[in-house]
A and B are shown apart, each in its own frame.
Chain A
Amino acid sequence: MKLEFLPWLILFLPLLSAATITLFTQKNRELSARLSIGAIVLCFALSILFIAANGWEPLKKETLVTWLEVGDLQLDFGLRLDPLSLLMVLVVTGVGGAIHIFSWGYMREDRAFSRYFACLSLFTFSMLGVVLANNFLLMFIFWELVGVSSYLLIGHWFERASAADAAKKAFITNRLGDFGFMLGILIVWALGGGLNFSLIEDQLRQNPALFGSMTTAAGLLIFCGAVGKSAQFPLHVWLPDAMEGPTPVSALIHAATMVAAGVYLLCRVFFIFNTPALHVIAWVGGATALMAALMAVQQDDIKRILAYSTLSQLGYMVMAVGVASPTPAMYHLTTHAFFKALLFLGAGSVIHALHHEQDIWKMGALSKKMPMTFATFVVGAAALCGVPGFSGFFSKDEIIAAALNPRHGSLGLFLLAAGVAMLTTFYMSRLVLVAFFGPARSDDADQAQESPKVMTLPLLALAVPSALAGFFGIAQLYGKQLGEAHSSFQVLAMAASLGAVVFGLALAWGLYWRAEKDPLPEKIGPLARMLRNRFYFDELYEATVIKLHDTIAAIAEWFDQWIVAGLMVRGAHGTTELFGRALRLAQTGNLQTYAFLFVLGVAVVLYLVLGK
């Protein structure tokens, strides 16, 4: 393999930049930003160089050093190089690079500019680690690091209580998922005899019953990790709150890359899942897709609409894995990274122009004032809705087709997928119609101006793949590794998704064209309220899980204070003191008492000696 050092350089450059900024260039804002942007752009260039030199399938699939070796636990620090990881490296560095550059403009006035870029670089390092890791535990390590960089970035404006809370919530919810992930890893290690993906895959190929009765459990526990990171039901609650972070962060982490890591994990270890596990995965994904799409319909915050849309699309991808079609899942992940990053950055551009106004009902008429943002945003929205010709059309189509796949899919999943596609078009059309058309509904919207070049150029750069990624042959590349997606229901799927787009658009047009306020709450009443309140999941968790947790803590503390420290310690203390007091009674300090006791003692001794 040529240029074997390159993947290592690609992985560690962002870490180097993060460390340099943290240790040395905190004070110099410009230099910090340059370092961070330079690192990721260089990574992108080096990845292309590496792929140009070695092709998509390098001769040597892994390059590693031993990181830890004790007894039967051997942990390699190794990089896995195959189409799956290399393409993801391109996505992470490419989309990430555009977002880094956009941040330069967007975060310009921020007090903690340097810290922001240091965290961004740390995130890039961790994400590249997740993508390149060649074994379960190493992936888990980077998995956690991704979680912590997300924590730091959501809490970037930590002086705001809401941001600090959101950061905490995201980290803890992710931890819950990681609990299962680690147990899954332990099962795999104990029964499979190692941690490397390739080793386990080979072993499973030779002996499909390697894990015996634990096969389903191992698969589902590993899936727990993906549920946390990719915000699937029931751990989806953290992602909408994560929008408290700066908008470019939402674009990079909570749309394009980190949340996709769960799907990437599922595809990476696809060999481990058996049919029952896949069924669970498919339905969890489907349920998330539907639920989140419904919630998106009644949100007013531009970033939250996009956040629920992300949830919904992630549900799609997970469902695709669940119907045994990892190739469409990865394909959709890639196109989604382009167009969702684009949409978020577009939203960021709008928010920036409107002085941090995020309510779409206070926008309007932006299509003329911000033409570049508008044009690119529409491209992104079209790709998301799956308008024919745009990238999302191809990838989503394959998922809908795969849902009908007789062995793992079902009619229910197919209808669900089509329904979600319709809802997607509906809420995205609502967003575009309300925010960009109609009258300007606030002064800020009236005086909005197009954002500077440093922000619009990244939009343009992302708009190109969002529109055209369907023609790049991405699916074939993934197919090389994960197996070609082939379905005999292409035509039916295409018809369904076309119908969904037309129907959703028509519905939104009828309701929202030049609308002053949202007509839906009047029409569907309580249902709208439920959607607006996200089916009360947060309240439910607050009342059950968190309450339970706090009650256990209260009981433990009570026990500690009153039983362990109280009865046991003070009891022992009390007994000792009782003895002390009793003895003290004998010490009266009165000479006559002493003399009396002395005489009494002598008498007793004399009796004992002489009395016999």
Chain B
Amino acid sequence: MTTLTLIFVLPLLAAVALAFVPRNYRFVMRLVTLATTLLVALLAVTLFWRFNADDAGYRFVTTIPFLGAESLGIHCRLGVDGINVGLILMGAIVAFAAACVSWEIREREKEFYMLLLVMTGGILGAFASLDLFFFYFLHELALVPTFIMIGVWGRGENKNYATFKITLYLSLGALIALIGLIALYLQLPPNQRTFDIGEITNYFKANPMPDRAQRSIFALLLFGFGILVSLWPFHTWAPLGYGSAPTATAMLHAGVLKKFGLYGLIRVALPLLSQGARAPVIPPEAFAHFPLWLLPESIQSYLQSMGWFDLLALLCLGNILYCGFVALRQRDLNLLIGNSSVAHMGFVFLGIASLSLVGVTGAVVVMIAHGFLAALTFGLSGYLYQQTRTLDMTQMSGLLQRLPFIGAAMVMAMLAGCGLPGFANFVGEVMVFFGTWKSGLGAAQQLVAAAAWGGLIVGAVYMLRAVRNILHGPVAEKCESVTDANSWRRLPFVLLLAALFVFGFFPKVLTEKIRPGAALIVDMANGGNQGTPVKPPAGVNVVQTTTPSEVK
């Protein structure tokens, strides 16, 4: 078996094995989970290390023969390129960290660890999958345990409502995305139908999809995947869900699972559907019915030419600025972190909407960096909750005096969250800004970039307010008897911080691997299907792609 297969299969096998461990063998269960996730993390590191990205294309491609259905064109094919190799590395490390912090679970441990392993295997498999069916199915496999874990092991009085809400939202998002994917599949001619992402890409490269189909499928994928990633205004499930989730679940979901939607957009929507997605969203007829002449000329023309990417850029301001402001008002630490994690997703959307190599590469870097960061912050807040039994920031104060290690790690996490250089997040965010600034989509994009950059100021305000409230100042009564983490409990945090530092100091390690894969996708997105990496302005592309559809 290859490394990639092992990364995907090992956690699932371990989950099955756990089923046979007697309920009172707690130590064995923990050991199996830790050993499996550690092994997977090590395998992911070697995979990342061995991956060389001289040119675009998938590496380490393997097919698992027993899975899949030949007649339907479903094969369990795995492989990595620059886009997902980093995600797999991040996911595996976060999974190990999540397993480490699971010591807080004291009841029904067996089920918990089984679900944790299923989540890990599912999401890593989804990232590694080159087959649309498994790509989707494995994500669902990982998603369902989230709901169960919040419902059973969750905390707080809102637990049930949170479970209900997150299940509803994410199932809806997944459903819309599924409709989009099926519609995409049906665009293939009946005799060439396949689920293989590579083959689908090649087919549409040679025979572009009709413009209209591209546009509607893109919308389905954008909103389907968007809901999964808490795109504004479909974000309210996220803070609430993470606020009620057990620590390990919040770490894995916010860190890893949430990236699936973004990965789907980059992997499927961006290369195949970008041309159509640039066409105006609002049909010209609509302008006849609304008194738009009241608006200034520049806004009118902007609205008339606004494609899905422009709309996405606007929506991600909702994420970055609006959710930043909402975070400012939170009293509960987890709600604050949850809102800030929603805000960070805006940077990835912005990078995708920029349709430029710098922006998309930056988006992937942000995805990876944010995975580590979200896991780190949720892990730390979980530790604090363990110690103080509250996450109400008005009741916590002066914790840095009592918890030098956890407090310092929290300060670092907060600083990383407001985009401080030295952490990987900064690299990604800066690349997103640069990419957006120079993208071919016009002056409106620069305003969006400036506004998004303003979001980092808002970020600094709420992050530092949180530090000021809970870590600085005199020690609050409730925080008198807390104890700092011992070296074993420090391990996951040290690991995650180290990852943020390594990629923050040496971003080339990451970007050099991402670049070829991202370049291919951006080329296709910009209509370079003749093989030339040219980037003509948006209007020209629309004309090019509409012609074949009109001929038909």
A68 to B464, CA, bound (A): 29
B472 touches A72 (CB 8 A): no
Q: Which residues of A contact B326 (CB under 8 A)?
A: 553, 556-557, 560
Cβ-based interface call for A502 (8 A): no
Cβ-based interface call for A460 (8 A): no
Cβ-based interface call for B460 (8 A): yes
Knowing A161-B473, A164-B473 are in contact, say whether A560-B236 is a contact too (CB < 8 A).
Answer: yes
Knowing A179-B457, A186-B433, A190-B437 are in contact, say whether A67-B322 is a contact too (CB < 8 A).
Answer: no
A396 to B361, CA, bound (A): 50
Cβ-based interface call for A355 (8 A): no
B421 touches A141 (CB 8 A): yes
Cβ-based interface call for B490 (8 A): no
A68 touches B507 (CB 8 A): yes
A552 to B398, CA, bound (A): 29
A569 to B166, CA, bound (A): 11
Among A20-72, those with CB < 8 Å from B are 66-72
**Digit string of B447-473 for contact with A (CB within 8 Å is 1, else 0)?**
001100110110011001101100111
Nearest Cβ in chain A — how far from B334, in angstroms?
A: 16
Cβ-defined partner of B473 (8 Å) among A159, A182, A190:
A159
B236 touches A564 (CB 8 A): yes
Nearest Cβ in chain A — how far from B410, in angstroms?
A: 13
Cβ-defined partner of A71 (8 Å) among B233, B236, B356:
B356
A550 to B325, CA, bound (A): 8
A72 to B431, CA, bound (A): 11
A158 touches B431 (CB 8 A): no
Nearest residue in A to B237 (C-beta to C-beta)? Answer: A569
Q: Which residues of A contact B461 (CB under 8 A)?
A: 172, 549
Knowing A73-B358, A164-B472 are in contact, say whether A179-B453 is a contact too (CB < 8 A).
Answer: yes
Cβ-based interface call for B511 (8 A): yes
B328 touches A553 (CB 8 A): yes
Nearest Cβ in chain B — how far from A577, in angstroms?
A: 11
B400 touches A158 (CB 8 A): yes
Nearest residue in A to B519 (C-beta to C-beta)? Answer: A71
Among B219-253, those with CB < 8 Å from A are 233, 235-236
A565 touches B236 (CB 8 A): yes
Nearest Cβ in chain A — how far from B521, in angstroms?
A: 13
Q: Which of A72, A175, A190, A568 has the most CB of B within 10 A?
A: A175
Interface of A is mostly: helix
Cβ-based interface call for A189 (8 A): yes
Knowing A72-B438, A148-B415 are in contact, say whether A165-B457 is a contact too (CB < 8 A).
Answer: no
Q: Which residues of B contact A172 (CB under 8 A)?
A: 457, 460-461, 464
Nearest Cβ in chain B — how far from A66, in angstroms?
A: 7
Q: Which residues of B contact A553 (CB under 8 A)?
A: 325-326, 328-329
Nearest Cβ in chain A — how far from B71, in angstroms?
A: 38
**Digit string of A539-578 for contact with B (CB within 8 Å is 1, else 0)?**
0000000000110111111011000110011000100000
**Digit string of B396-426 for contact with A (CB within 8 Å is 1, else 0)?**
0010110000000000000100101110001
Cβ-based interface call for B385 (8 A): no
Cβ-based interface call for A277 (8 A): no
Nearest Cβ in chain B — how far from A551, in angstroms?
A: 10
Q: Which of A140, A168, A189 has the most CB of B within 10 A?
A: A168
Cβ-defined partner of A556 (8 Å) among B325, B468, B515:
B325
Cβ-based interface call for B434 (8 A): yes
Cβ-based interface call for A515 (8 A): no
B side interface size, CB within 8 A: 56
A171 touches B450 (CB 8 A): no
Q: Which residues of B contact A179 (CB under 8 A)?
A: 453-454, 456-457
A158 touches B471 (CB 8 A): yes
Cβ-based interface call for A16 (8 A): no
Q: Which residues of B contact A72 (CB under 8 A)?
A: 358, 438
A495 to B437, CA, bound (A): 52
Q: Which residues of B contact A375 (CB under 8 A)?
A: none
Q: Which residues of B contact A70 (CB under 8 A)?
A: 357-358, 361-362, 431, 511, 515
Cβ-based interface call for B165 (8 A): yes
Q: Which residues of A contact B460 (CB under 8 A)?
A: 171-172, 175
Nearest Cβ in chain B — how far from A351, in angstroms?
A: 23
A565 to B401, CA, bound (A): 38
A161 to B467, CA, bound (A): 12
Q: Which residues of A contact B323 (CB under 8 A)?
A: 556
Cβ-based interface call for A176 (8 A): yes
A565 to B471, CA, bound (A): 31
Nearest Cβ in chain A — how far from B313, in angstroms?
A: 16
A72 to B168, CA, bound (A): 43
A159 touches B472 (CB 8 A): yes
Q: Which residues of A contact B361 (CB under 8 A)?
A: 70-71
Among A139-162, those with CB < 8 Å from B are 140-142, 144-145, 148, 155, 158-159, 161
Show 15 A/B contacts (Cβ-Cβ < 8 Å), sorted by A.
A69-B511, A70-B358, A70-B515, A141-B421, A144-B421, A148-B415, A158-B472, A159-B398, A159-B474, A161-B474, A168-B464, A168-B467, A172-B460, A189-B438, A560-B236
Closest 3 CB pairs of A and B: A164-B472, A71-B357, A556-B325
Chain A interface residues (CB < 8 Å from chain B): 66-73, 137, 140-142, 144-145, 148, 155, 158-159, 161, 164-165, 167-168, 171-172, 175-176, 179, 182-183, 186, 189-190, 549-550, 552-557, 559-560, 564-565, 568-569, 573
Q: A144-B426, A556-B326 are in contact. List 4 more A-B contacts (CB 8 A).
A: A148-B415, A158-B473, A190-B438, A554-B329
